Each structure stands twice: as structure tokens, then as C-alpha cells.
Amino acid sequence: MTGGGRHPARWSRGALLAVSLSLSLTYLCYNLITGSPPGPGPLRLHPPPRPDPRLQPRAHTLTLQERLRAPQGLGPRTETLSPGRDVTGRGETPKPGRVTPSSSPDPGIRETPTPGKDPPNPSLGTGGLNPGTGSSSPDPGSRETPHPGGDITGRETSSPGLRPPGPGPGPTAVPATAQGTRSPGAAEDCEPSPEPVTGRSWVSREPEASSAAAAAAAAGGTRALLEAIRAHPAVRAVGVEPHFFDRNYEKGLEWYRELMPRTWDGQITMEKTPSYFVTREAPRRIFSMAKETKLIVVVRNPVTRAISDYTQTLAKKPDIPTFEVLAFKNRSLGLVDASWSAIRIGIYALHLENWLQFFPLSQIHFVSGERLIIDPAGEMGKVQDFLGLQRLVSDKHFYFNKTKGFPCLRKAEEGSPPRCLGKSKGRTHPSIDTDVIHRLHKFYRPFNLMFHQMTGEDFDWEQDEEGDTPSARDVVK
């Protein structure tokens, strides 16, 4: 990376923030590469991580993705994942064969051969985003584009329906391939930097060998998180979503480096690209670049996330069918259309499983999208702890803006005026039929349970089952 025209900072630590892991995602942090500034240093590739003992198999041996592909779906096995019995247990031992030598160079990291090549995964197809379809530059201000093969609504067009996951009553279709993050047309990011629509994740880099943090968020709130963490003097973040590890990977690591802000010694560079969380190839690519990268994932009640996603799409494409229509393959049968990206992104356990093949749970921090609204300082405190930063972003940085209905930053950066996120964040959701909301809660329940068991964290989504999750407008009055 060149330093021309930039301040004479030395490369030091960097972090990438990405989030709707939400899938919205949602955020993730990672360690970048070795090498000295300003040019790209030699990349050090790392062997696949040792299996995390916490991830040893418990009650079953198939991965969630394998189970989703299996004819019986998740059905009978779901109950073996009883809550509280195995907080971190994913019931899966990372299989040696899961990360196998690559037969072709990794385009994003040209300096060294890629150690791992994912076996074909019919469940996820080519991944949530097609690298070949990305624009030549980061996507400021645009939401997710439809995944090739999907239609305008973000629906996978060729997904075989499987039986319902878990004990839920109605039949549910689980798609064979993952979608991008945000459904197409989701709202652009507002200020200060336009943000693309896709999921929600972050990545940060650390160009100088040590560790960088990257965050990928999967659910709603990635922009809020990034803007808040940017208030920390030890964090430098790129405003746009680079989409390097999904659609721009072919451009190579140098392209990515050029995009990232330079950091002073001791600073972390971050980015957020929500779609990383649901991109099949992203974990391997990030791991290849920097295995110690820290990842942040913002998760939100998947039902609310789906509605938020739809709301953003609707704002751009008012003619799309109703949420109720899109959410089902067969509404009278209660057959949820999990091939619709707005639905699929919220199956957090499915996506997380992919990340845990490469990164230990200890390297991933989960931010509650709900708490980020209700108690932004509290959530940011945990994020700073996770990143090894002093807790400098605190209560005094936030105030509740009644007009906006959300917390706003008193001071985003040194000397900058107070500000709220733009109008694409915090939109009023359309009213959705209650029975549809209930059915979706039922659909997600087993997946949420798995996610809870995988992460050891309870996001209290069960209590939201009466409807769409209240916004800060409802909670803070």
C-alpha cells in the first residue's frame, strides 16, 4: 500500500470491521497480514486451526449445513441440542478434510498459495455473493445486489425445499444456496459514508504482522457499531463497505490495502461488510490473510432483521410483493421460503458454523443489535474489551434523539458535531400479519437455539415473539 498523499503514519495494527449478520449482520474483526509498510509484505498463511475443544461433538456428528442438506432436514436431531446443556457445543468436530489444499492460487492473496480449498458445498453453492459480479469499487450507498440465480427479491431461484428445521410444526423449505446479505434494494447507508446494502459485517486489518481486527456483522446495527467504534482514538475505519472478501476478492490484496485507512502505531483499522458473514468463502479468505483477526458479528432478532431487510428493499423497489408473500413458499402450509435472502440471512447458526471451521469462538464477538439501540454504551464497552481497547467510548458519547428515535453520537470523532445515522437507518417497518410473525418465530426458534448453544449467549429473542422487535422509539420513552 502506498502512503502517497496520506499522513505519515506507520502501519501498525489494523482491524477490519464488517456486520446483517445480520446477518445483518450484523460484524467481524481480523488480523491482517505480515509485511511492512507501505508495500504489501509477504503474506503468512496459516494452517487450519486446531479444533477448538469446545467445539467437540456432542449429540450429533453432522454439521448444520450437512443436516440442512440431508433429506430429513434438522427435524429429529434438533432436540439433542438442548439449551443449557452445552453452551458452546456445536456438536461438530472440524473435519480435517474441510479445509483442504487448494489447487489454485487464491486471487486475493497472490503471494502465497492458498492452503485451503473448500469442498463443494451444495448447501451454499458458490457462496452468498459472487465475486465476479461485484463492481470495481467498494459499494458506497448501495445495498445488496441480487445474488446470481436469485430473483429481484433476493430469493434463490433453484433451491430444493427441505423439511422444516426443528420441531416447528409447519413444513419449512431450506434452500440449497446462500444468498447475499441484505436483500436487494436495501437502503443505502447514510452519513457519513454511504453504505451498501448487503449483510452486515466488518473487517479490520493489521498490515504489520501482528493482529488486526475485522468485524462482520450479520444483523441490524452494523453501521451504528462502526460509527460508534470510530469514535475511539485507537480505531481507524473505512466508511464504505469494501466487500473485499466476497465480491472484490479477485482484485487482490493490494487493492484492499489501498482502500484501508492508514494507522498509527497502536491503532486498529476496521471495516464493515455485512455480507461477509453469509459468504461461504469469507472465513477461509480472511483466515488465509490473518488467522488472528478478530471478528465482530451484530445479530438481531432474525424476524425483525428480515422485516428490516424487506423494508429497505421496499424503499427502493416499492413494487415488490408483500413481505407475507415473499416469506412463504406456501403460506397456507406454513412453508417458509428459506431461499429468500431476507429469511436465510437470519439463520445465524448456519453461517456461524462456517466461520467456526476456521476461527475459534474466542475470536468472534457478538453484538446484540437490540442492546446496541437500548444501551449503546454498554455494548460498545464489550466491543472495546474484545478488541483490547481502553473503554473510551462511553455514555458520554451517546444521547437519545427523540426525533430520530435512536441513540445518536454526541461526538463521532474529535471535533465533529453530534449526529445521527441517516434516514435509511431506523425506518418504520411495515405492519406484518401477526400469524406470519408467529410462524417465522417458530421457524427460527431451533436455529436460534443452536446459535445460543454455539455462542453461549442469550439474545432474548424468545421474548419478542409477539411481534416485530420494538425499536428504541418504543423502548426509550
Ligand X SMILES: Nc1ncnc2c1ncn2[C@@H]1O[C@H](COP(=O)(O)OS(=O)(=O)O)[C@@H](OP(=O)(O)O)[C@H]1O
**Under rule CB under 6 A, residue 351 binds ligand X:** no
Site for ligand X (CB under 6 A): which residue of 12, 26, 88, 357? 26
Site track for ligand X across 181-210, x = CB under 6 A: -x---x--x-----x-x-xx----------
Task: Please answer whether residues 102 and 56 qualify as being in contact, where contact means their C-beta atoms are separated by less than 8 angstroms.
Answer: no
DSSP label of 296: E
Q: Is 78 annotated as a binding residue?
A: no
Query: Is 419 annotated among the ligand-binding residues?
Result: no
372 binds ligand X (CB under 6 A): yes
Residues 352, 266, 36, 16: is their CA dihedral positive or negative? positive
Residue 373 lies near ligand X (rule: CB under 6 A): yes
Q: How far is the CB of 215 from ligand X (least distance, A)?
A: 11
**Angle at 86 (CA atoms; ends 80, 89), nearest 5 degrees:** 90
- Determine if 236 is a binding residue for ligand X (CB under 6 A): no
- Residue with smaller CB distance to ligand X, 57 or 430: 430
308 binds ligand X (CB under 6 A): yes
Rg of the chain taking only CA atoms, in angstroms = 20
Rounded least distance, CB 22 to ligand X, Å: 6
DSSP string, 232-246: STTEEE-SS---TTT
342 binds ligand X (CB under 6 A): no
In this chain, which of 20, 153, 172, 354 binds ligand X, going by CB under 6 A?
20
Neighbours of 87 (CB within 10 A): 14
Distance, in Å, from the CA atom of 313 to the CA atom of 367, rounded to the nearest integer, reads 24
Please name which of 177, 193, 203 lies closest in space to residue 276, comparing C-alpha atoms. 203
Q: Residue 186 CB, nearest distance to ligand X (Å)?
A: 5
> Which SS3 state, helix, strand or coil, does residue 226 take?
helix
Q: Is 158 assigned a ligand-binding role in the annotation?
A: no
Q: Which of residues 66-125 bind ligand X (CB under 6 A)?
A: none
DSSP state of 79: G
User: Could you tell me the smallest distance in angstroms from the CB atom of residue 377 to ligand X?
Assistant: 12
Task: Verify binding: residue 24, ligand X, rule CB under 6 A.
Answer: yes
Residue 353 host element (H or E): helix 348-356
Please tell me the distance from the alpha carbon of residue 133 to that of residue 151, in angstroms, as a whole number.
15
19 part of the interface to ligand X, by CB under 6 A: yes
Closest CB to ligand X: residue number: 308
331 exposed, middle or buried (CB, 10 Å; 0-12, 13-18, 19+)?
A: middle
Binding residue count for ligand X, defined by CB under 6 A: 29
Q: Which of 193, 188, 251 is nearest to 17 (CA)?
A: 193
Q: Of 78, 222, 269, 339, which lies in the binding site for ligand X, with binding defined by CB under 6 A? A: 222
Alpha-carbon distance 128 to 202, whole Å?
A: 16
Tell me: does residue 245 bind ligand X (CB under 6 A): no
Nearest-angstrom CA–CA distance, 337 and 455? 26
- Residue of 313, 315, 142, 129 whose CA lies nearest to 240: 142
The Cα–Cα gap between 222 and 15 comes to 15
**In the structure grid, which three cell numbers stand for residue 172, read together?**
419449512
Binding test (CB under 6 A) with ligand X, winner from 40, 108, 185, 221 = 221
CB of 475 to ligand X, least distance (A): 11
Minimum CB separation from ligand X for residue 226, in Å? 8
The residue to which cell 436431531 is assigned:
77
Separation CA 321–CA 356 (nearest Å)? 36
Q: Which residues pair with 218 in a beta bridge?
A: 25
Site string for ligand X, 392-411 (x = CB under 6 A): --------------xx----
Measured between alpha carbons, how far is 102 from 80 in angstroms, rounded to an integer? 35
Stretch that binds ligand X, among 29-37, 218-226, 354-362, 383-391 (CB under 6 A): 218-226
Q: 427 labelled as ligand-binding?
A: yes
Residue with smaller CB distance to ligand X, 26 or 179: 26
Residue 308 assigned ligand-binding role: yes
Tell me the closest approach of the beta carbon of residue 471 to ligand X, in angstroms. 6
Residues 22, 277 contacting (CB under 8 angstroms): yes
Which string of x and - marks every residue 408-427 that binds ligand X (by CB under 6 A)? -------------x---xxx
Q: Which is nearer to ligand X, 124 or 421 (CB)?
A: 421
**Closest distance of CB 132 from ligand X, Å:** 22
In order of 155, 338, 358, 470, the CA distances from 186 in angstroms are 14, 18, 30, 20
Q: How far is the CB of 158 from ligand X (least distance, A)?
A: 25
Residues flagged as binding site: 300, 308, 425-429
Would you list which residues are annotated within the binding site for 3'-phosphoadenylyl sulfate? 300, 308, 425-429
Which parts of this chain interact with ligand X (CB under 6 A)?
19-20, 24, 26, 182, 186, 189, 195, 197, 199-200, 217, 220-224, 274, 308, 311, 372-373, 406-407, 421, 425-427, 471
